[in-house]
Amino acid sequence: MTSYILRRLWQMLPTMLGVILLVFILFNWVGGDPAYVLAGKMSNPEQIANIRRQLGVDQPFYIQLWIFIKQIATFDFGSSWSTGETVANVIKTRLGPSMTVLIPLTILETLLAVALALAIAFVRGSLTDRAVMVACTVGMSISILVYIIVFQYWFAYKLGIFPVQGWGDSVAENLFRYSLLPILIGLAVSVAPSLRLFRTFVLDEVNQDYVRTARAKGVSERRILWVHVLRNAAIPIITHVMSNLPALLIGAFLIERFFSIPGIGREVILAVERSDFPVIKAITVYVAAATMVFNLLTDLIYQAVDPRVQLK
């Protein structure tokens, strides 16, 4: 196990270097000269030269690349061009609100979709099965913007059950008041595609030989689904869930924007609008690193769920 983890971590290095090089090229060659962005429209050559010297973009490209690598290693990307706030503080303060919404949303979505997929598989081929699949298709066809507008109008404005917008300083207040409606909208949007996918995983296992053997031994259909089938279908389900986890780092930007949640997703949108390159570069690199780490964790969870899986 230890040797496998060390080998995977070593294999991440060239991938990470490739990501760093790609981001560096995109922002330094394709993105244009940041000195002109910072200087604004009313600038002169002296101001441009001074800003270029302060940013280090007047140095050779290999020196700029080394500076960029040191920024990543030390978690120090300097300050935001638009607000002057350090990028490290931007990520630290915006990550909490995003996680407050997206962690409960991911857990509830996974548990609900798995439970419904097993329940639908129990009555597979019936009218209920077809009706649920039609409802999922209709739900997937509706834009998240429609869900946000309708839910805000009815549950917040008309019924007054939830606040329309807002965010406080208390974690409990944010979790049980301000994030409830965003979580409800997220569930309405995400459960349908997850249910359809998980149902496919479950039905792929239902017709396997070990299921027919269990039925021949007299095992109940409920136990077959919830014990035997679920354990084998867990592998692709884990793959799907873990592959979506890096998206938690950038948040559901539309939900954060409409509900004024000061999260990472909202910050990314603002950074793009302002051409705030330090914030965009930092989040891009760290999401790439998180993706590789989550892929490693996925392999480790495989073996925990199914000891037959060998890590080589």
What Å distances lie between residue 92 and 129, 135, 262, 263, CA to CA?
44, 39, 11, 10
> Phi and psi of 109, rounded to 5°?
-60, -45
**Model confidence pTM above 0.85:** yes
Residues 6+ apart with CB under 8 A from 181: 151, 152, 155, 156, 162, 163, 259
User: Residue 259: what pLDDT?
Assistant: 92
The enclosing H or E element of 110 equals helix 87-122
- Between CA 221 and CA 238 the distance in angstroms is 23
Query: Tokens 């630290």 identify what position?
Result: 92
- Between CA 109 and CA 120 the distance in angstroms is 16
Q: Which domains does the chain have, with CATH numbers?
A: 2-74 (no CATH), 93-274 (1.10.3720.10)
User: Whose CA is closest to 256, among 270, 275, 277?
Assistant: 270
User: Whose CA is closest to 168, among 67, 96, 222, 272?
Assistant: 96
pLDDT, one tens digit for every residue, the chain (312 residues):
788 888 888 989 999 999 999 998 888 776 666 777 676 665 677 777 787 777 777 788 888 888 889 988 888 888 888 788 999 999 999 999 999 999 999 999 999 999 999 999 888 889 999 999 999 999 999 988 899 999 999 999 999 999 988 898 899 999 999 999 999 999 999 999 999 999 999 999 988 888 889 888 889 888 888 888 988 899 999 999 988 888 776 667 889 988 989 999 889 888 888 878 889 899 899 889 988 999 888 888 888 877 776 666
- Mark residue 125 as left, alpha or beta (left: phi above 0; alpha: psi -120 to 50; beta: remaining): left
- In degrees, to the nearest 5, what angle opens at C-alpha 286 toward C-alphas 304 and 191? 55
Tell me which amino acid residue 58 is: D
- Between CA 151 and CA 266 the distance in angstroms is 20
